[in-house]
Amino acid sequence: MTGAAPIWSEKISIDDVPEAGAHIDLTADETIRAALAQAAGLRDLSRLEASLDLKRHGKNGLRVEGQMSATVGQNCVVSLEPMESEISEDIDLTFTASGGSSIADERGEATMRFGEAEPPEPLAGGVVDLGAIVTEFLLLGVDPYPRKEGAVFEPPAVGDTSEKPFAALAALKKVKGGEGS
């Protein structure tokens, strides 16, 4: 999402979050849901909401915890029938003014080890975009190969040569070979 303006933007400044923290419930309106559905290649997005708790993290940091949930409309990859799926993703991100330590080495390559905690996200200008965060977690939660319950792929029967992709070329080769002999 870097460089382009996010489709859903709900910015909050760290200065607007009290020391005791804050709870924010977000619900995407119809226009935002339609734009996100188009961008994500979904048939529709009938519901997108998040329940987030914001807590100060040190002097210049912010922690965002909560859950994103959505109802997405897609087509089954087997039957091509329309279907709906429920998505629920936990959100737990920490933002700091310095962005924390980098996972890149001196060559610019990522060097995280399995099991290590992720470094904090950068807190650019003291502002966090909650709409962009929820959008990111929605996109991570969408099943790229949705399958309707009970849908079963039936492969073509084995041994049926008429179904082979090069059967027509083989037939042409036989005809051409018969004329030249």
Tens-digit pLDDT profile for residues 123-151: 888 899 999 999 999 999 999 988 888 77
Tell me the residue range of the domain where 129 lies: 11-180
Q: How far apart are CA 120 and CA 62, in angstroms?
A: 10
Q: How far apart are CA 41 and CA 144, in angstroms?
A: 10
The pLDDT score that the predictor gives to residue 3 is 60
Local confidence band at 1 (pLDDT 50, 70, 90 cut-offs) = very low
Within a domain: 3 = no
The pLDDT score that the predictor gives to residue 180 is 46
Mark 33-44 as b/e (b = at least 16 C-beta within 10 Å).
beebbeeeebee
For 46-56, the pLDDT digits (tens) are 999 999 999 99
Within a domain: 101 = yes
Q: Quick check: 31 pLDDT over 50?
A: yes
> What domain count does the chain have?
1
Q: How, if at all, do strands 82-96 and 121-122 pair?
A: parallel
Q: Quick check: 19 pLDDT over 80?
A: yes
Asked if 62 and 54 touch (Cβ cutoff 8 Å), the reply is yes
Asked if 37 and 139 touch (Cβ cutoff 8 Å), the reply is no
Within a domain: 6 = no
Q: How far apart are CA 14 and CA 55, in angstroms?
A: 9
Within a domain: 5 = no
Within a domain: 2 = no
Within a domain: 4 = no
What radius of gyration, in Å, describes the C-alpha atoms of the chain? 25
